[in-house]
């Protein structure tokens, strides 16, 4: 009969062989955690290899993603569509076995991990999604949402500051279906971690409100199984299982050392490890009896069928809820969404409110929130400033106000953790999540925003106080380079609307951008309403459009502006018209959306024959060179802001009609 150790050794062998074939990788962690993974995947994890997206599957997250061969070996052995040929192509171009696990590239990988600690944060998002979704849909005698989130993590994940942020929230929220298994091997790239990592990790997590199981021998399958059973037996808290392991377990000369962490073991050491482990098979060869011991296809199919039977009974008892659940799992917007959201945009255009775009954002949430039960979001302790709470907001984390059926998350001052949790909520399915902070603090969150685009995840990141216009708080709070930084993230749409109408269109576009992220950037100060024709209104969603053309004359220059600077551009255009310098004004709320338009449309807005162009934005100037060219000018920021009332700051830094007029005259010549 095949033993647990033999099953685990298959993982070790595949990890050694794949890293050796690639001549790069991290064999140590997979070899050290193989025994733990064998117990979890064979005895506890609920999944169906034939349907990696089954909605009530357990979520498994490899936060220490450098050990990716552990996950690839597990996926292959248990029956996912990840053939041995892909393991042999580990870390090669266009393979399904990238250096770090990538969602949407490899079946069974729930999220893209690599930046340490973010996998744990995503897992907290998965667990929060399960809790809230269960509260929304489960009914007495009919439980259709009932799964767990499991996360492997290492010393590096726990050293990263994001782990503190999200572990604190998980304990506060009582995410009892979250189980983290800590690979305590004492080794990182630089060697033994006791020189730079002496935290009392179990005590730290107990202080967060976690259930902690200490001192588990990670190479004793029976001990690991008892620990997991203890985690499942408790209620009301997330669990951290602390497993002591030997990195590179089985490699006689390199186990327990940093040499096994991030480099191939070498031909001789691999051979020695095979002998030590009693694994006589050639590279990438797995005996039939080992495959049989790992094969999860029949068990997985049975588990999913049992759920489908339960869901059929649920649908019979609660047909409307069942239909709503299925719609949200498909990621489809409600049937009345398109007409209702467009009607709201048209209503705003007719009414013309002159409010700060952050207020327009809240007004839009009040209008869109009742249409979208899947909308869930929150703010990093700035709800009163970001204006992200809407009339139907109820606490989702603790659920005290709605019996667990909330839709608003209080994140506290945790921008990075918040944004990575948002990615987890998006990836789980059934939700459209948003988060919020001041634009300047997107610096804290940026790597998670980058991951939103890289994964990709349908995450909406809301940023307010978008320029020096926030005023007296001064340069520490005044974003300058942040818009350009966010725009540089591939496939990340950044919207900076000029009035309430563009704000609503920005929200609409972000909600409809299925599977991909957006950043919505709003002002503190009131913005003037802009008059538009029906054609102009329809063109907002294209990212840029002609807001104003001179009457009866061909324009000599183009003014391009975003956000609060659009009204400045319009005033400058009126002044220039009086001086016989006709100009076109282009509002460009989203450069990425505009760049994706057909050439014909882009040429119609920014014709190539007109090289006299001026861009106006209260942010760093360099980004706009792509639109104005060498012959154009940018009215923007070339340094940091200052502490003063907004009106004084705009005048001091040159955001005046006179300054813009002079810039246009210079480019016209």
For residue 85, the model assigns a pLDDT of 98
pLDDT digits (tens, 9 = 90+) for 65-86: 999 999 999 999 999 999 999 9
C-alpha–C-alpha distance, residues 296 and 78, integer Å: 5
Token pair listed for 88: 């042999």
With a cut of 90, say whether residue 117 has pLDDT above it. Answer: yes
Is residue 651 among the annotated active site residues? no
Instruction: For residue range 190-231, list pLDDT tens digits in order.
Output: 999 999 999 999 999 999 999 999 999 999 999 999 999 999
Residues 558, 612: Cα–Cα separation, whole Å: 6
For the chain, the maximum distance between any two Cα atoms, rounded to a whole number of angstroms, is: 93
d(CA 365, CA 368): 5
Give the annotated binding-site residues.
Answer: 26, 66, 114-116, 155-156, 185, 187, 261, 358, 385, 441, 465, 473, 477, 524
235 C-beta neighbours (distance < 10 Å), count: 9
Contact 152, 65 (CB under 8 A): no
- Catalytic entry in 38, 415, 592, 617: 415
Mean pLDDT, the chain, as a whole number? 97
Residue 401 predicted with pLDDT over 70 = no
Q: Which tokens hold the place of 8?
A: 């685990």
Q: What is the DSSP letter of 384?
A: I
Report d(CA 464, CA 474) in Å as an integer.
15
Q: Exposed, middle or buried: residue 473 (CB in 10 Å: 0-12, 13-18, 19+)?
A: middle
Torsion of the alpha carbons at 336, 337, 343 and 348, rounded to the nearest 10:
150
Please give the Cα distance from 188 to 90 (Å, whole number).
22
Residues 269-328 pLDDT 10s: 999 999 999 999 999 999 999 999 999 999 999 999 999 999 999 999 999 999 999 999
Give the span between the Cα atoms of 445 and 448, in whole angstroms: 6
Q: Report CA dihedral (308, 311, 315, 320) to the nearest 10 degrees.
A: -110
Q: Which residues contact 243 (CB under 8 A, 6 or more apart)?
A: 33, 36, 181, 182, 183, 184, 216, 217, 218, 224, 227
Q: Rg of the chain's alpha carbons, rounded to an integer? A: 28
Give residue 403's pLDDT band: very low, low, confident or very high (50, 70, 90).
low
Its pTM surpasses 0.75: yes
pLDDT at 553: 87
pLDDT beyond 70 at 402: no
Give the percent of the chain with pLDDT over 70.
99
Distance CA 361, CA 208 (A): 34
Measured CA to CA, the distance from residue 346 to residue 537 in angstroms comes to 8
Angle between helices 28-43 and 221-233 (to 10 degrees): 60
Omega before 456 within 30 of 0, i.e. cis: yes
Local structure of residue 395 (DSSP, 8 states): B
The yes-or-no verdict on residue 399 having pLDDT over 90 is: no
Q: Which domains does the chain have, with CATH numbers?
A: 4-301 (3.40.50.970), 336-521 (3.40.50.970), 543-668 (3.40.50.920)
Residue 398 scores a pLDDT above 80: no
Of 54, 58, 10, 2, which is closest to residue 35 (Cα–Cα)? 10
Local structure of 252: helix, strand or coil:
coil
Strand, coil or helix: what is 634? strand
Give the residue from 551, 608, 610, 559 showing the smallest Cα distance to 588: 559
- Span 528-550, pLDDT tens digits: 999 999 999 999 999 999 999 99
Give pLDDT, residue 201: 98
Least confident of 148-152, 157-161, 401-405: 401-405
CA distance 658 to 650: 12
């Amino acid at each position: 009969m095949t033993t647990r150790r033999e099953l685990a050794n298959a993982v070790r062998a595949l990890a050694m062989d794949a890293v050796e074939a690639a001549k790069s990788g991290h064999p140590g962690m997979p070899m050290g955690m193989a025994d733990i993974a064998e117990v979890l995947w064979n005895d506890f994890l609920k999944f169906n290899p034939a349907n990696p997206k089954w909605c009530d599957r357990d979520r498994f997250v490899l936060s220490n993603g450098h050990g990716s061969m552990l996950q690839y070996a597990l996926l292959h052995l248990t029956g996912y569509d990840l053939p041995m040929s892909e393991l042999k192509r580990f870390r090669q171009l266009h393979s399904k076995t990238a250096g770090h696990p990538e969602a949407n590239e490899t079946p069974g990988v729930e999220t893209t991990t690599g930046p340490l600690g973010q996998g744990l944060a995503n897992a907290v998002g998965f667990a929060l999604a399960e809790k809230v979704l269960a509260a929304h849909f489960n009914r007495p005698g009919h439980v259709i949402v009932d799964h767990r989130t499991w996360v492997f993590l290492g010393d590096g994940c726990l050293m990263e500051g994001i782990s503190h942020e999200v572990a604190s929230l998980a304990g506060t929220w009582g995410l009892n279906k979250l189980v983290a298994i800590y690979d305590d091997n004492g080794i990182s790239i630089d060697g033994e971690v006791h020189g730079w990592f002496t935290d009392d990790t179990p005590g730290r997590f107990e202080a967060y409100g976690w259930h902690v199981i200490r001192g588990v021998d990670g190479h004793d399958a029976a001990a690991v199984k008892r620990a997991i059973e203890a985690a499942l037996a408790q209620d009301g808290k997330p669990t951290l299982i602390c497993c002591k392991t030997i990195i590179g377990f089985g490699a006689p000369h390199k186990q327990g050392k940093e040499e096994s962490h991030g480099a191939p073991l070498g031909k001789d050491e691999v051979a020695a490890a095979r002998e030590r482990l009693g694994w006589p098979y050639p590279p990438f060869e797995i005996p039939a009896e080992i495959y049989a011991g790992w094969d999860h296809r029949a068990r997985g199919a049975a588990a999913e069928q049992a759920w489908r039977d339960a869901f059929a009974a649920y649908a019979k008892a609660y047909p409307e809820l069942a239909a709503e659940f299925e719609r949200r799992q498909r990621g489809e917007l409600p049937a009345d969404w398109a007409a209702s959201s467009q009607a709201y945009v048209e209503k705003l255009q007719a009414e013309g409110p002159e409010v700060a775009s952050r207020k327009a954002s809240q007004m839009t949430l009040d209008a869109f929130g009742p249409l979208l039960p899947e909308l869930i979001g929150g703010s990093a302790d700035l709800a009163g400033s970001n204006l992200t709470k809407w009339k139907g907001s109820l606490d989702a984390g603790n659920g005290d106000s709605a019996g667990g059926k909330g839709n608003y998350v209080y994140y506290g001052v945790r921008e990075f953790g918040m944004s990575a949790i948002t990615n987890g909520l998006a990836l789980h399915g059934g939700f459209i999540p948003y988060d919020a902070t001041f634009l300047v603090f997107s610096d804290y969150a940026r790597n998670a925003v980058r991951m939103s685009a890289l994964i990709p995840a349908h995450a909406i990141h809301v940023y307010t106080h978008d320029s020096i216009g926030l005023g007296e708080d001064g340069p520490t709070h005044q974003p300058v380079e942040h818009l350009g930084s966010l725009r540089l993230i591939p496939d990340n749409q950044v919207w900076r609307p000029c009035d309430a109408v563009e704000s609503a269109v920005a929200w609409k576009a972000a909600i409809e951008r299925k599977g991909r992220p957006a950043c919505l950037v709003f002002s503190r100060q009131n913005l003037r309403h802009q008059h538009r024709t029906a054609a102009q209104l329809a063109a907002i969603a294209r990212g840029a459009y002609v807001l104003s053309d001179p009457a009866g004359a061909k324009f000599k220059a183009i003014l391009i502006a975003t956000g609060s600077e659009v009204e400045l551009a319009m005033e400058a255009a009126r002044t220039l018209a009086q001086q016989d310098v006709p100009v076109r004004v282009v509002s460009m709320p989203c450069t990425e959306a505009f760049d994706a338009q057909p050439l014909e449309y882009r040429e119609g807005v920014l014709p190539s024959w007109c090289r006299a162009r001026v861009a106006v934005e209260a942010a760093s100037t360099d980004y706009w060179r792509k639109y104005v060219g060498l012959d154009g000018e940018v009215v923007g920021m070339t340094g940091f802001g200052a502490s003063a009332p907004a009106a004084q700051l705009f005048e001091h830094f040159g955001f005046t009609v006179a300054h813009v007029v002079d810039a246009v005259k210079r480019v016209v010549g």
